[in-house]
A and B are shown apart, each in its own frame.
Chain A
């Protein structure tokens, strides 16, 4: 599976707004480049990123070739309860990756 790096605070106060960062390794081949022999290199990108907090979607992104390689996204959410935050990336050629992080909320 592709290497991913997730940053979620381990602990948060109830209702506190927390910052979440997600970085994943992927070359994000645009589909607009040509090889040295002139052939078009096929697109191969991550197309979707979804984050769920105890099963409920809290953030979603549609990615395009204009997203830089090794996509990085940071966003915010309210820490509502303890549990698991799950990150899912899907893309071309059946690409799929999942990571999760636990969070403890007082």
Chain B
């Protein structure tokens, strides 16, 4: 039997260079191909999102604006009492959340930050996850970053462990269907699954109005939906694993522009 031909040296060098030079891992979407799922929505869905006068998500944004100005808690303070008008103070905030909280030593998402503010500065109870009020406040704050690019969370070294934990979850097989998030959203985006486009899963539009929910919802809700779809036990709202995954998703979407409140099927 003939001895196998040795790999040519040039080939070995080229392969090594390709692996080392690539800033992203195999399977990740190349930076120049990343795009919001807005691009694959139907014209009607895009039109619903584009017009603030007809975007149903705006109903929650308006509620959020009212809540921002509402005095609450035993401290009888409104968000305005510390933050002033949100249009000034909250611009850009959503591009930088989840953010590292030094006191708690871990990443917190925007809903957790809002509840901490309520607890500590307004002496008010936390708003339940996915409650109308919490979604309204989150949507209101996030919309104020509309058009701004998502910041790269890896720039804050303290978030490194969280991003990595989120990456592990994203690439781990889960549930009875034994799928990873990456298998759909990194490897098969823009193909169809049961009549709907498989998106890249970019998280530029949250909280968003989902036609399926006939209401607005958070990224955590959407990810729990995905996990249920894979027949996996979903993480609880606010679980560190879910916040880490959220952070990883934000990292994946770094540089893409916020479009809250998005409309999606």
* A and B, direct touch (CB closer than 8 Å): yes
A interface list, Cβ under 8 A from B: 3-5, 7, 21, 23-25, 27-28, 68-70, 72, 74
Tell me whether B214 and A70 are in contact (CB under 8 A). yes
Tell me whether B214 and A23 are in contact (CB under 8 A). no
**Scoring B residues 214 to 236 as 1 if CB is less than 8 Å from chain A, else 0, what string do you get?**
11000000000000000000000
Tell me whether B53 and A70 are in contact (CB under 8 A). no
Tell me whether A23 and B54 are in contact (CB under 8 A). yes
Tell me whether B215 and A69 are in contact (CB under 8 A). yes
| A3-B62, A25-B60 given; 9 more Cβ-contact pairs under 8 Å | A5-B59, A7-B54, A21-B53, A23-B54, A25-B56, A27-B214, A69-B215, A70-B215, A72-B56
Q: Shortest distance in angstroms between A2's beta carbon and chain B's nearest beta carbon?
A: 9
B interface list, Cβ under 8 A from A: 53-54, 56, 58-60, 62-63, 214-215
Tell me whether A3 and B59 are in contact (CB under 8 A). yes
Tell me whether B59 and A70 are in contact (CB under 8 A). yes
CA distance A21 to B53 in the complex (A): 7
CA distance A94 to B223 in the complex (A): 37
Contacts of A28 in B (CB 8 A): 214
Contacts of A74 in B (CB 8 A): 54
CA distance A5 to B58 in the complex (A): 8
CA distance A72 to B56 in the complex (A): 8
Instruction: Give the residue among B59, B62, B215 with the most A Cβ atoms within 10 A.
Output: B59
5 pairs from A and B in contact (CB 8 Å cutoff): A4-B59, A7-B53, A23-B56, A24-B59, A70-B214
CA distance A55 to B53 in the complex (A): 24
Contacts of B54 in A (CB 8 A): 7, 21, 23, 72, 74
Contacts of A23 in B (CB 8 A): 53-54, 56, 58-59
CA distance A70 to B263 in the complex (A): 13
Tell me whether A70 and B56 are in contact (CB under 8 A). yes
Contacts of B58 in A (CB 8 A): 5, 23
Contacts of A68 in B (CB 8 A): 214
Contacts of A21 in B (CB 8 A): 53-54
CA distance A32 to B60 in the complex (A): 26
The residue in chain B whose Cβ has the minimal distance to the Cβ of A25 is B59
The residue in chain B whose Cβ has the minimal distance to the Cβ of A69 is B214
Contacts of B62 in A (CB 8 A): 3, 5
Q: Shortest distance in angstroms between B57's beta carbon and chain A's nearest beta carbon?
A: 9
CA distance A72 to B59 in the complex (A): 11
CA distance A35 to B56 in the complex (A): 25
Instruction: Give the residue among B54, B62, B215 with the most A Cβ atoms within 10 A.
Output: B54
Contacts of B63 in A (CB 8 A): 3
